[in-house]
Amino acid sequence: MMISLIRPVAAASGSFSVSVSSTKVTVGDKVKVTIKLTCNSGVCAEVYIDTSNSNLGSLSISNSSSYYTNGNFILIEPTSSSSVTITATLTAKKEGKCTVKVTVKDFIDWEGNSVSGGNGTKSKEIEIVKKTDNNTPTTTPLSGDASIASLAISGLELDREFASDNYEYVVYAPKGTDSITISAKASSSKAKIGKTTFAVKEGWNDLSVVCEAENGNKKTYKIRVYVEETPTIYFNNDSLGVVKNLDRLEPLEGFEAKTITINEEEVTIFNHGGINLIYLVDSEDNKDYYLFDVENKQVSERYNPVVIDNHSYLLTHVNYDLYEGMEEQFDRNKVNIGGQIVDGWTYKNSSLADYQIVCLMNGEGEKNLYSYDSREQTLQRYTLPQKEQTGNSNEELLTYLSYSSGAAGLLAFIASLFVAGKKRKTS
């Protein structure tokens, strides 16, 4: 009867787990060990953390009202909570492999019942490595990205759009530029960009922007900067200088570049038929083509073409002294031809107001006078009328005409005799 009154006590079901913050750490780093005990009917247990391995030390256990600590021993007070978490911290002392062991004993619930599956020992393997020279763990890979994400120069343009995989660029800077500041941004936040401000001088300057990655890799971006040079050859009382660099000059259709020597320097000119041009800059830094006399090494006027009737002509300066005979029928005046104002002549006769005379150079380099119809916008060669011959010249002309008439009559008489003779033979 006494045996029948004893009721069997069922064991509670529970578990515990162990985790670490990292399984691979550097000497001096902290390793956090997290221990969690779980049982739906409450938790009470003894926990031991093995610190016998000399590679790990300085055990520290977080405070909690749920448990009591003494060195590496932890006593969890009986609690009705379904779980209790313990956090302990160890310090990596020296390199090598080591094991963290956690043992749970006497795991019971709130009512004092044994917890099935709650007791035992669990381990975690940890590898400790030494520090590198720059205090970065050897296990953490260093960034090798040494590329530049963006590059620009304030106020100047690169010869092509920037791209990280293009490493050479050309820039043209105005005369007087003495320094260049380059704005560059690395693709990686861990990379460093070197020198970006450079002193420059007239002519070509070779600059290099170097980006160094975290692991020491380097990439160099080369920038060739051309600073406009002061001319060394001048024309027209030093008002026009020869432009030295023609890299960006738009070629003129139909003209061929040639090299000549002026003052022991090589100079490029452009030839088409009888026209030679040279590229010059004035005192206000305006650049343009000018007509050039190769034989005499002289510059005349700005190359100023106009197209009329699908033919190209050059508007040239008029030397009125060469055309004194024009004053009888024309007035010196400004003429609008092809939208450009040039020196020329207008008729004194108002009924010919639509016609003007201009001096143009054709494609062969020949200067001629042209009659310009401003209404139809057409051109026609114009020849100055010749003065009539007087005096002896008229007499000589009459004498010549008389002799010519007599000779013609004699030839006609001889021809008639010849024809008559042939008729007699035929009959």
Question: What DSSP assignment string belongs to 253-268?
Answer: TT-EEEEEEETTEEEE
pLDDT tens-digit map of 369-398? 999 998 888 889 888 766 554 445 444 433
CATH class of residue range 10-129 = mainly beta
Give pLDDT, residue 10: 57
Give pLDDT, residue 386: 60
Largest CA distance in the chain: 191
Q: What are phi and psi of 2, to 5 degrees?
A: -65, -40
Output the pTM of the full model.
0.52
Structure-token match 């990292």, residue found: 22
Q: SS3 for 288?
A: strand
DSSP designation for 4: H
Question: What DSSP assignment string belongs to 140-158?
Answer: SPPP----EEEEEETTB-B
- Side-chain half-sphere CA neighbours of 1 within 13 A: 0
User: Which of 338, 339, 248 minimizes the C-alpha distance to 287?
Assistant: 248
Angle, alpha carbons 252-253-259 (nearest 5°): 55
Min mean pLDDT across 166-175, 247-256, 263-272, 407-416 is at: 407-416
Q: What are phi and psi of 272, to 5 degrees?
A: -150, 110
Question: What DSSP assignment string belongs to 193-223?
Answer: E---EEE--SEEEEEEEEEE-TTS-EEEEEE
Min mean pLDDT across 43-57, 126-140, 381-395 is at: 381-395
CATH class of residue range 148-227 = mainly beta
User: Which of 184, 230, 40, 179 minimizes the C-alpha distance to 118?
Assistant: 40
Angle, alpha carbons 314-318-324 (nearest 5°): 140
Q: SS3 for 371?
A: strand
Mean pLDDT within 85-92 = 89
pLDDT band for 418, please (50, 70, 90 cuts). very low
DSSP designation for 424: H
DSSP strands (E only) in 236-317: 240-242, 256-262, 265-272, 275-282, 287-293, 298-302, 305-308, 311-315
Note the residue count of the chain.
427
Is 10-129's fold the same as 148-227's? yes
Q: Where are the chain's structural domains?
A: 10-129, 148-227, 234-303, 308-381
Mean pLDDT of the chain: 84
Question: pLDDT exceeding 90 applies to what percent of the chain?
Answer: 44
pLDDT tens-digit map of 314-339? 887 788 888 888 888 999 999 988 78
pLDDT band for 423, please (50, 70, 90 cuts). very low
pLDDT band for 139, please (50, 70, 90 cuts). low
Q: Looking at the predicted structure, is the pLDDT value of residue 222 above 80?
A: yes
Helix or strand run (H / E) with residue 392: helix 392-426
Mean pLDDT within 261-271 = 95
172 is written with which tokens?
Answer: 């043209």
